[in-house]
Amino acid sequence: MLGPILLSATLIAMPQGRGHGKHGHDGPPGHARGGDGVPPGLAKKGGMPPGLAKKFGARLPERPYIAVDPRYTDRAWFLIDGRWELQKGFSVGVQAEVRDVLRMPAAPPPVPLPRVGVDLHVALFN
């Protein structure tokens, strides 16, 4: 009777191992980390959200500006080659990114904004 109790107490008190080290990082398998510690596919802190970055096209401008109509989260204006271009029909994920843009501090636009009957919220991503 005393044997199983002592065995249980011994197993509980033993330090737990860290596995065999097959994965080469501290996270679980499937969660590989790059040198910056940000999971692949997610925006780096302070950077452009990936869904909005894709709306600029193949090349992200050096100073990416986005103008958002506070009434709509399914569209935004992007400053591309000195012109504001409207993109519409955003997915739910990109709409969440647009809502985050509305919480960012406003930035003065380098070129006049399109006239849409409401003040657009302009954000600059560094």
Work out the number of other CB atoms within 10 angstroms of the CB of residue 87. Answer: 17
pLDDT value of residue 26? 56
- Tens-level pLDDT at each residue, the chain (126 residues): 666 675 666 666 666 665 555 555 555 555 555 544 444 444 445 588 999 999 998 889 999 999 999 999 999 999 999 999 999 999 999 999 999 999 999 999 999 999 999 999 999 998
How many residues belong to the chain? 126
Rounded distance between C-alpha atoms, residue 24 and residue 34, angstroms: 11
Alpha-carbon distances, residue 88 vs 39, 43, 67, 118 (angstroms):
28, 21, 13, 17
> In this structure, what DSSP letter does residue 124 have?
E
Three-state DSSP class for 84? strand
pTM over 0.85: no
Rg of the chain over Cα atoms, rounded to whole angstroms, equals 24
Tokens 């992200």 — which residue? Answer: 60
Kind of pairing, strands 121-124 and 83-88?
unpaired
